[in-house]
Chain A
Amino acid sequence: MIYLTRKAEFAASHYYHNPEFTPEENQRVFGKCNNPNGHGHNYTLEVTVKGEIDPRSGFVVDLKQLKGVLTREVLDAMDHRFLNREVPEFANQIPTTENLAIAIWQRLEPKLKAAQLHRVRVYETPDLFVDFYGEA
């Protein structure tokens, strides 16, 4: 099994708010991230796929295709967007890095053909990242 990782970057804004919490509870749990005007990050996405090497091409996956899927499914939808308002997954869930990694996995997984998705890693900042492996 060979693992291949492709990186991409996107910039987006978000804020954390649970409508079922009181304002005080939102403030206590989410702190500064609760500001309804939002704030932004430069996200780095790392997508790792796995598979056997195709003996004819020598590839585990065609990088051009992988890049195309990443661009269409993730970057076009999220780059320079306000995640809470413009990405449908976050209409009713909080756009934390955890939920972002899960949403990106769910967007990519059905679109990948040759290789199998192994890991989605989302860096919110260089000091904070979340990994999702498709585990329930």
Chain B
Amino acid sequence: MKAYLTRRYMFSASHRLHNEAMSAQENLDTYGKCNNPHGHGHNYMLEVTVSGQVDPSTGMVCNLADLDGFVHRDILERVDIQNLNTLPEFQSEVPTTENLCTVLHEILQRGFTEAHLEKVRLEETMMNSFEYTGGNERIW
């Protein structure tokens, strides 16, 4: 039987939305308060959904300790209490939550092989959230 397992993680980070290719006015028009040169921060909530056959010997899609270990080592240690603009991934991309979603999806897709990655969902605040499935569309 195929099941989908979702795990939630929290991290806090700062960012500034700014595109070097735009004029100062265009940056301000596009990003508003988020263009503040000093940056600002959020408590992000990361939701990772993986899927696979439930292993009859463990009753699990994948071992939660392994997923937690990967996410802590390869994601949270890199982004928690950090300025996202300083990460290599955001030297040429604006650290919007859309882009962060695809970056985190890429890290999981490449490194976590114990189950199939279905979705990465990020809440930037309680009022907005973003989901990336890597092109795999389905009704949740």
Seen from chain A, the residues whose Cβ lies within 8 Å of a Cβ on chain B are 3, 16, 18, 20-21, 29-31, 93-99, 101-102, 118-119, 126-133, 135-136
In angstroms, how far is the closest chain A Cβ from the Cβ of B133?
Answer: 14
Residue from A30, A119, A128, A135 within 8 A of B1 (CB atoms): A135
**CB of B60 within 8 A of chain A?**
yes
Task: Identify 21 residue pairs between A and B in the complex whose beta-carbon atoms are under 8 Å apart, listed by A's number.
Answer: A16-B59, A18-B57, A18-B58, A29-B58, A95-B59, A96-B54, A97-B5, A98-B60, A99-B54, A99-B59, A118-B139, A126-B8, A127-B9, A128-B5, A128-B6, A129-B5, A130-B6, A131-B6, A132-B4, A135-B1, A135-B2
A30 CA to B56 CA, complexed, in Å: 14
- Check B4–A131 contact: CB distance below 8 A: yes
Known: A128-B7, A136-B1. A98 touches B63 (CB 8 A): no
Tally chain B residues at the interface, Cβ within 8 Å: 22
Q: Which chain B residues in 21-51 approach chain A with CB under 8 Å?
A: 49
A135 CA to B64 CA, complexed, in Å: 21
**Residues on B with beta carbons closer than 8 Å to the beta carbon of A29:** 58, 63
- Check B3–A102 contact: CB distance below 8 A: yes
- Check B2–A136 contact: CB distance below 8 A: yes
In angstroms, how far is the closest chain B Cβ from the Cβ of A92?
Answer: 10
Residue from B3, B57, B65 within 8 A of A101 (CB atoms): B3
In angstroms, how far is the closest chain A Cβ from the Cβ of B62?
Answer: 10
**Residues on B with beta carbons closer than 8 Å to the beta carbon of A3:** 139
In angstroms, how far is the closest chain A Cβ from the Cβ of B32?
Answer: 32
In angstroms, how far is the closest chain A Cβ from the Cβ of B116?
Answer: 12
- Check A127–B7 contact: CB distance below 8 A: yes
> What 9 pairs across the A-B complex have the smallest Cβ distances?
A94-B59, A96-B59, A131-B4, A135-B2, A127-B8, A98-B3, A98-B54, A99-B59, A132-B3
Determine the residue in chain B with the shortest Cβ distance to A18: B57
- Check A98–B61 contact: CB distance below 8 A: yes
A131 CA to B6 CA, complexed, in Å: 8
A18 CA to B58 CA, complexed, in Å: 7
Known: A29-B63, A93-B59, A95-B59. A102 touches B54 (CB 8 A): yes
In angstroms, how far is the closest chain B Cβ from the Cβ of A47?
Answer: 14
**Residues on B with beta carbons closer than 8 Å to the beta carbon of A135:** 1-2
- Check A102–B58 contact: CB distance below 8 A: no
